[in-house]
Structure 1
Amino acid sequence: MYITVNQAAKKWGLSDRRVRNLCVAGKIPGAYREGRAWKIPSDATKPTDGRYKSKEALIPIIEEKLEILKKRRPLTEGELERLNEEFLVEFTYNSNAIEGNTLTLRETDMVLRGLTIDQKSFKEHMEVIGHKEAFDYVRQLVSENAPISEKIIKDIHYFVLADKKDDRGVFRRVPVRIMGAAHEPVQPYLIIPKMEELLERYKSSEEDIVTKMARFHIEFEGIHPFIDGNGRTGRLLVNLELMKAGFPPIDIKFTDRLKYYQAFDEYYANDDISAMADMFARYINQRLDLYLSILD
């Protein structure tokens, strides 16, 4: 869902010109230009200053907001339904679009409601349905506080890859390359030991939740354990762990995909986790603001 510059200006108490300048400067994540008009994500929050905050600056703010949110829980069934329904549409759209799905946000919503879109492939329809079922499964795992494991990762992937029955929930058996990436995924015979190492490191990590999740996500994608569906599965795993820790799920926007790709390259080229951690921190902060504003 997107709003106009004028709507954002009224929402945040700013002038149209100020909001437009913030869009031009890249200070509103997910905002993009369509012709002469700007499209701004409806869940975007008012920028608090002229710069993006780093993960280090946002961690105490995030922790404070999480404590406020915990005090307002449990949410009612209606509140949960509203939050999850709107999030699911945008999360499914963005996560699939990052991987090349051409369904628009509106078309994604229509498919989730059981409709068929003319001139769109069966594969793209199944990607929407599979992602929805995977997120439903993640929510179930959160309610059970299930510890992350190889089986859970394979189960999530099974739902994600709804259009490729022979590859669902199965580690790949052939080498792959990620076009344009600075890192080459491991050879098939190393996938199982590397996944075991990744899970062990994750479980024993004492890093803050943001850095911990950023590192896990990058290294999972670096292993690239499946023939397809790694990105969608990886982003669902991030939300599984965030939600178990009490945070709202996050939705990496299609319009932020270049920054997202660059964050992977920064890690593998320069051993620098900050780009991905900063991105995760900003998204978590925005989602917390949205949840708290709705509850207010």
Structure 2
Amino acid sequence: MYMSVKQAADLWGLSDRRVRVLCSQGKIPGTVREGRLWKIPVDAKKPTDGRYKRASSLLLQIEEKMAKLATLRPLTSGEVERLNEEFTIEYTYNSNAIEGNTLTLRETDMVLRGLTIDQKPLKDHMEAIGHREAFQYVQALVAEGRTLTEQVIKDIHYLVLSDKKDDRGVYRRVPVRIMGASNEPAQPYRIRPLMEQLLEEYTKNQENIVTKMAQFHLAFESIHPFIDGNGRTGRLLVNLELMKAGYPPIDIKFTDRLAYYRAFDAYHSKGSLAEMENLFADYLNERLDDYLTLLTVNDAEK
């Protein structure tokens, strides 16, 4: 008898992401993988493991997996297209859902295929289409090797905020507050100099990719440069830079949103990067496991 990742997460008081990571690292005996799903024995015990929680403990694994990927047969164009389509749908659903979009994963897929969902706001439809176009633009930027600039950030935001034409791609001109957050976003007159400083510091940053992107993401969201769409734009920027550096994009799940919020709280209340680093490292490690599993199975079948 088996239970799902979600059932195990609810039983053990963990996030879905954490359970998937433990499965991929072999920390839960008897776990079986079928495609992209994990089946966990119903009598499995909650793992007592702290090593994976530290981003630094995963960095070596991530680099080892990147090196292993380089030795395997590359995906065909058809395989890449299929994986990109699946990722784009799930990524669009999760990133929008974190910000309050009401479309389900299935409904997001349908909207991206040109269908209209009854009784769902037009705004939700436009957000799904806008996010897909923004991610496709990010992929084009990666192919071109474009440097991250304020204009690139504004261009991505312009596509994300498809339902607010007057606010697309422009820094906000009014103060804002984030309800329930300890951080107070920058005053409008400080946004431009803070963004220039952020990009300058990012360019000079010599940290590993996980730490570098955690620092950038936390700082970007703290500035909160736009009136709306900051979270979606910020997560797209993380993937832009990950992909430019040769890593796969990551998809922060809606089910892990509380862990994501806690990472911001830890940064603003304690100045700690650790929780965001852990989150990014776990997701990146899991994505690499997915690629390795797919390519290893494909090679074995040949």
Q: Please tell me whether residue 281 in structure 1 is matched to residue 268 in structure 2.
A: no
1:29 corresponds to which of 17, 24, 44? 17
Pairs within 5 Å for 1:129-278: 129-278=129-278
Output the CA distance in 2 between the equivalents of 1:80 and 1:5.
Answer: 31
Contact 2:221 2:231 (C-alpha < 8 Å) held by counterparts: yes
CA RMSD of aligned residues (A): 2.5
Give the equivalent residue in structure 2 for 1:51. 49
- Structure 2 gaps of 5+ residues are 21-32, 41-45, 297-302
Contact 2:89 2:109 (C-alpha < 8 Å) held by counterparts: yes
Output the CA distance in 1 between the equivalents of 2:275 and 2:160.
Answer: 27
Q: 1:107 to 1:174 in 2, by over 3 A?
A: same
Query: Deviations along 1:224-261, whole A, 9 cap, x unmatched?
Result: 00000000000000000011111111000111111101
Letter in 2 for 1:258: L
- In the superposition, the TM-score normalised over structure 2's length comes to 0.85
Pairs within 5 Å for 1:56-135: 56-72=56-72, 74-135=74-135
Contact 1:27 1:50 (C-alpha < 8 Å) held by counterparts: no
> How far off its partner does 1:43 sit?
4.1
Contact 2:2 2:39 (C-alpha < 8 Å) held by counterparts: no
Say which SS state the counterpart of residue 226 (structure 1) adopts. Answer: coil
Contact 1:239 1:249 (C-alpha < 8 Å) held by counterparts: yes
- In the superposition, the TM-score normalised over structure 1's length comes to 0.87
Output the CA distance in 2 between the equivalents of 1:60 and 1:253.
Answer: 24
Contact 1:267 1:273 (C-alpha < 8 Å) held by counterparts: yes
- Structure 1 gaps of 5+ residues are 9-18, 33-39
Output the CA distance in 1 between the equivalents of 2:34 and 2:148.
Answer: 31
Letter in 1 for 2:185: P
> How far off its partner does 1:194 sit?
0.1
Output the CA distance in 1 between the equivalents of 2:281 and 2:38.
Answer: 13
Output the CA distance in 1 between the equivalents of 2:146 and 2:70.
Answer: 20
Q: 1:278 to 1:112 in 2, by over 3 A?
A: same
Say which SS state the counterpart of residue 116 (structure 1) adopts. Answer: coil
Output the CA distance in 2 between the equivalents of 1:161 and 1:28.
Answer: 29
Letter in 2 for 1:67: A
Letter in 2 for 1:173: R
> How far off its partner does 1:24 sit?
2.1
Contact 2:214 2:280 (C-alpha < 8 Å) held by counterparts: yes
Contact 1:154 1:169 (C-alpha < 8 Å) held by counterparts: yes
Contact 2:185 2:223 (C-alpha < 8 Å) held by counterparts: yes
Aligned residue pairs total 276
> How far off its partner does 1:208 sit?
0.9
